[in-house]
A and B are shown apart, each in its own frame.
Chain A
């Protein structure tokens, strides 16, 4: 609660992105976080506040009217959001992953113009990569885009589309054509009114309840230029995967930071009751704080690693980088659960109860999602495969 900015300047420079996201996290997302979780409702107030500040186009370059924010700043902003409301932070992260794909791979006129429109209208973008029948492998598709006369048609059975009902556009993977093998994929921007979603089932999950992620049958058509220029395999390697793992890890770091904040306050309250006696839990707090530092440095290091090579497709496509970005996801999603669990041991029953300043039930439930959304075993399986030929750094 240290950086309250009441009147943000009209033209943001990059540090303002962090300050604005932190203010929204503390003043808007935090008060609603428990209700969003309990009711499993969309965090509309957070997204409206981000919209009002133009933050949904933070990654769009200044030449197209956006803020041209860095991934480092966005990462820090997501840590702040993740500290207060993991659902808000996850929706925001997933949106920016889609924007990153558009900004970095949407080169044709239609997609450039769409970015300008996105700045103006502050569109919220969602993603439909998983599909019924592919066993969770986002690198293959059953559905295909059917292009005829400059128009594409597409129908996809999506087991999950996070905040699909609240999105202004969805980036959808599909095979390049009806004749293409399952791994020859493209990414298509699907927009209303030529986008129709038929909801299948409900989203009643353990955590990230506010992401509102049921299944849908998605039907869309549109101008064939709304299909991104680069093959999905390249786009995934160079942008979607590293950016997703960096931004997710950032918000998971936010969850872990918040849990550690509560544990530290608990230990300090204990210490005040008996000055002169170091509480037994203080040692575990020291241990957990060291783990949190590892986590923080891991995320910061990954952001730097990506930013250093972000304009070099060759280096982004190297095995070593792919292995590092996969390892980031697995490490971060493991650390967040470990840290929350340690903090629960520190706070004891006060964290187990749902109604104390030290409650960690929501943190624990949200943190468990991290290793499951794109399963860590699948990611490690990919790394195992790549390590058969990787030569080391």
Chain B
């Protein structure tokens, strides 16, 4: 799953650093992801994992790190 998340971030996250190497707990917004880019990341994650984030998951904290994205995706897969 992490590999797919990193691919999505690499393609849509517009990070100032390498999405393949960034620490899984690093703040993605501090690494340059804009709110505009985060929406594209959400859309791409929904497509990649065939999920739909619930309304309460759609907030900055869900997408602030690779670890938080993994937790969010897992929660939606289990739902």
Contact = CB atoms under 8 A, between A and B. Distances in A.
Interface of A: 139-140, 176, 180-184, 231, 233-234, 237, 314, 317-320, 385-386, 388-392
Nearest to B46: A389
B39 A391 contact: no
A103 B69 CA distance: 32
B32 A317 contact: no
5 contacts: A183-B34, A184-B32, A319-B55, A389-B42, A390-B58
Given A314-B59, A317-B60, A391-B58, A183 B43 contact: no
B59 A317 contact: yes
Contacts of B29: 183-184, 231, 233
Contact of B55 (A184, A234, A391): A391
A139 B39 contact: no
Interface string B28-48: 011111111001001100100
A389 B43 contact: yes
Nearest to A140: B34
Contacts of B60: 233-234, 237, 317
B30 A318 contact: no
Interface of B: 16, 29-36, 39, 42-43, 46, 52-56, 58-61
A388 B59 contact: no
B39 A389 contact: yes
A139 B58 contact: no
A319 B59 contact: yes
Nearest to A319: B58
Nearest to A314: B59
Contacts of A233: 29, 35, 60
A180 B34 CA distance: 13
Nearest to A237: B60
A214 to B, nearest CB: 29
Contact of B30 (A139, A180, A237, A389): A180
Contacts of B33: 183
B31 A181 contact: yes
A232 to B, nearest CB: 11
Contacts of B53: 389
B32 A385 contact: no
Given A388-B43, A389-B42, A389-B43, A139 B55 contact: no
Nearest to B54: A391
A389 B58 contact: yes
A181 B30 contact: yes
A180 B32 CA distance: 8
Given A233-B60, A318-B59, A139 B35 contact: yes
Contacts of A140: 34
A181 B39 contact: no
A231 B30 CA distance: 10
A270 B30 CA distance: 63
Name, among A181, A182, A231, A391, the residue most crowded by chain B CB atoms within 10 Å (CB to CB): A181
B20 to A, nearest CB: 18
Contacts of B39: 385-386, 388-389
A36 B13 CA distance: 48
A182 B30 CA distance: 9
Contacts of A391: 52, 54-55, 58
